Structure 1
C-alpha cells in the first residue's frame, strides 16, 4: 500500500506579497524548491500574517532544512556552454552584460539552449524575443526585451551582470535570513541590485544626499537572498510578441492620459495550495478590472496588487504596490 508523502508547512515571514520583490522571491522559492525536492510535491499558498505571506508546503520542516535545500540546488556548478566556465547559475545569464542583444545572437543562443538546456531556454524566453526587434545606437537590429529590465548599461548599471553578481555573492544564511526575517538591507548594494524593490528608487530628489556618491552603498542597501530567489522567478514570466510589440506575462501596458506608456506589474495572491504549474497558470489570468469580484473569488484569489514601473532618466524602478 502506498502512503502519502509527509508534507510540512513553513511560513516565509520575510517575504511580503504586497512588495514586487517579495512576491518574486516567493515564486523563486517555490520554483527552486520544486526542483530541489523533485519528484516529491511542493505547494505554496498565501496567508495573512501581518500582511500576505507565502506558506510553503514541502518535505522539510525547519527553516534551516529549507535553506540548505534551496542553497544546494542553486549552487550546483555546471559547465556553461555560453561562457565556457563552471558556475551554478543558468547559462542564459551569460549571454551578455545587458539584454540589448543583436537579434541574430539571441536566435543562435535560443536554438542552442532549446536542444540541450531547458533551464537556460526558459530564462531566455523570459529575457526577450528576436521576433520583435528595435535598433540600437549603431542602427543594428536588437531584440525587444522583458518589462522587468531596469537597466541597460548606462552609468555602468548592467542587468545581467548584476544578476550574475548576486548569484555569486548570495549565501545560504542570506537565503534563510530574507525568507524568514524582516529585511534589514545589510548587504552591499553597489553592483548587486536588480531594482525590483520600491526602495531601489534612489532619486536624488527623494534623498538627503546624492545617492550615486553614497559610500554606504559598498556596505549595505541590498538583500541578496530575496534578489537571488527573484532571479529564479523570471522564467515564470515569458515574453511574447503581440500587436507588433513585445509583451511580458504579468504586465499590463497602456497609454496614459498624457500619452506616455503606463506599464504596471500585476500579480495575484491565492489561498489554495498550488503547485508550480498551477501558480504559473494563475500568473496569466486576465488583468485587473476584466473579471467580476465573484469570478476572482471562485478562482481562489484573495487579493491582487499592481506596481507601476517608473522610468527615471535611463533607469527603471517599481513603485510601492497598490491593491486592485
Structure 2
C-alpha cells in the first residue's frame, strides 16, 4: 500500500476530520478501492493507505464516483428520488413518528440501498423533534428552506460544476463565496471585516471538503432515547450537545473506524467534557478533539459547527 498524505485535511478541525472519513468511505464503499485511514501524530493531517499512488489518483477515484451519480440523483449508488425532491414547506423526508415505519417500508421497496445505507444515518423514529417528526442527525442543521435533499444536492452540484474542487479538498482549500458549507465549518462565516469590499453575510465554504463530509454520514449510528436524538461522536452535557472525535495512528478500514468511533474509552468522564488519555492510548489514539453547534445572532437554526474545548487528563 502507498501512504498518501492529504495536507488540507487537518483532523483537528471538524470539517477536516469529517472530510477525511468521507474520503475513506467513498473510496472503499462507493469506489471499491481497499483503503485505510490514519492521521499523522506530528501535524494531524489525514493519511490514506491504498494502492493509489498519489493525490491525483485519489482525486481521480473521487471524480469517478461523482460521475457515477445518475441524473436526478444526489447520492452514489442510489437512484433518483432519494432524498425526495423538496419544495417550499415541510421536508418530505421528515416523517411523523406515527407513520415513520410505513414510510420506511415503502422506501425499502423503491430505494433498497437508500433504506439500508442512508436512511438509518439521516433520521430516526427513536427520537422526535418539536413537531413530533422523526429526529435528524446532529450533523445536519437545516437553515431557512434547507431540506435533507439540499444538504447533499448543493455540494454535489458544486463539485460537478468544477471537479477541481475535489483535488483542492485534499491539498489546498479554496473558498467559494455564497457557498454555506452546510454549516459544517465555522470558518464559512464572514463579517464585513473579513470581506475586501466590506460586505456582510458573504459566507464562503469549501465545496469539495463539504461534499466529502456529507459522504461520511453513513458511518455514524443514529438512535435516540425516545425523546432526544443520539448519534455516534455526539455526547450530551448539562447544557450542550458536543461532538467528540479521536485521531489515530493505526491504519484502519471503514469497519475498524466505525468501531473506534463508538469505543467506550472515548466517552467523557464528566460534563466538562473531560477525557482520560490512559483509556484511549492503547487504541492508538493520540488526540481527542471537540466541536459543538454555535448559534448565530438573529438566526433560528441549530448553528454552525465550531471547535469546542475538551479537557484531557
Over 3 Å counting, the alpha-carbon distance change for 1:61 and 1:119 in structure 2 is farther
**Cα deviation digits, residues 208-250 of structure 1 (max 9, x gap):** 96633x4xx5xxx121110010010011112112253221211
The match for 2:167 is 176
Paired residues for 1:23-62 under 5 Å: 23-38=17-32, 41-49=34-42, 51-62=43-54
Q: Aligned in 2, Cα 1:233/1:88: closer, same or farther, shift over 3 Å?
A: closer
Provide the secondary structure at the position in 2 that maps to 1:13: strand
Give the drift of 1:252.
Answer: 0.8
Q: Using the alignment, how far apart are the partners of 1:205 and 1:169 within structure 2?
A: 26
Aligned-residue RMSD, C-alpha: 2.9
Return 94-103 or 55-64, whichever deviates more. 94-103
Please state how far the C-alpha of 1:161 moved relative to its aligned partner. 1.3
Describe the SS at the equivalent of 2:288: strand
Aligned residue pairs total 291
Deviations, residues 78-126 of structure 1 (Å, cap 9, x unaligned): 47xxxxx455544543364748712266544432444552345322111
Name segments (4+ residues, structure 1) moved above 6 Å: 203-208
Counterparts in 2 of 1:54 and 1:96: CA distance versus 1, 3 Å:
same
Q: Is the 8 A contact 2:182 2:210 kept in 1?
A: yes
User: Which residue of 2 is the match for residue 73 of structure 1?
Assistant: 65
In the other structure, the counterpart of 1:317 is 304
Instruction: Return the alpha-carbon distance in structure 1 between the equivalents of residues 185 and 177 of structure 2.
Output: 15
Task: Verify: 1:288 aligned to 2:288, yes or no.
Answer: no
State the partner residue of 1:259: none
| Other structure's SS at 2:216 match | helix
In the TM superposition, what is the alpha-carbon distance from 1:254 to its structure 2 partner? 2.3
Quote the residue 1:3 is aligned against: none
Q: Secondary structure at the match of 2:304?
A: strand
Q: Structure 1's 274 and 174: CA in aligned 2 closer, same or farther, altered over 3 A?
A: same
The secondary structure found in structure 2 opposite 1:264 is strand
Partner of residue 124, structure 1: 119
Alignment of 1:113-152 (within 5 A): 113-114=107-108, 117-136=112-131, 141-152=132-143
The farther-off stretch of 245-254 and 102-111 is 102-111
Give the conservation status (yes or no) of the 8 Å contact 1:249–1:284.
yes
Once residues 18 and 255 of structure 1 are traced to their aligned partners in structure 2, the CA distance between those partners, rounded to angstroms, is: 24
Distance in 2 (alpha carbons) for counterparts of 1:197 and 1:99:
26
Q: What is the aligned partner in structure 1 of residue 178 from structure 2?
A: 189
Is 1:226 matched up with 2:209?
A: yes
Unaligned segments of structure 2, at least 5 residues: none
TM-score, normalised to structure 1, is 0.79
User: What does residue 20 of structure 1 align with?
Assistant: 14
How far residue 151 of structure 1 moved from its aligned partner, in angstroms, is 2.0
Match of 2:94 among 75, 95, 101: 101
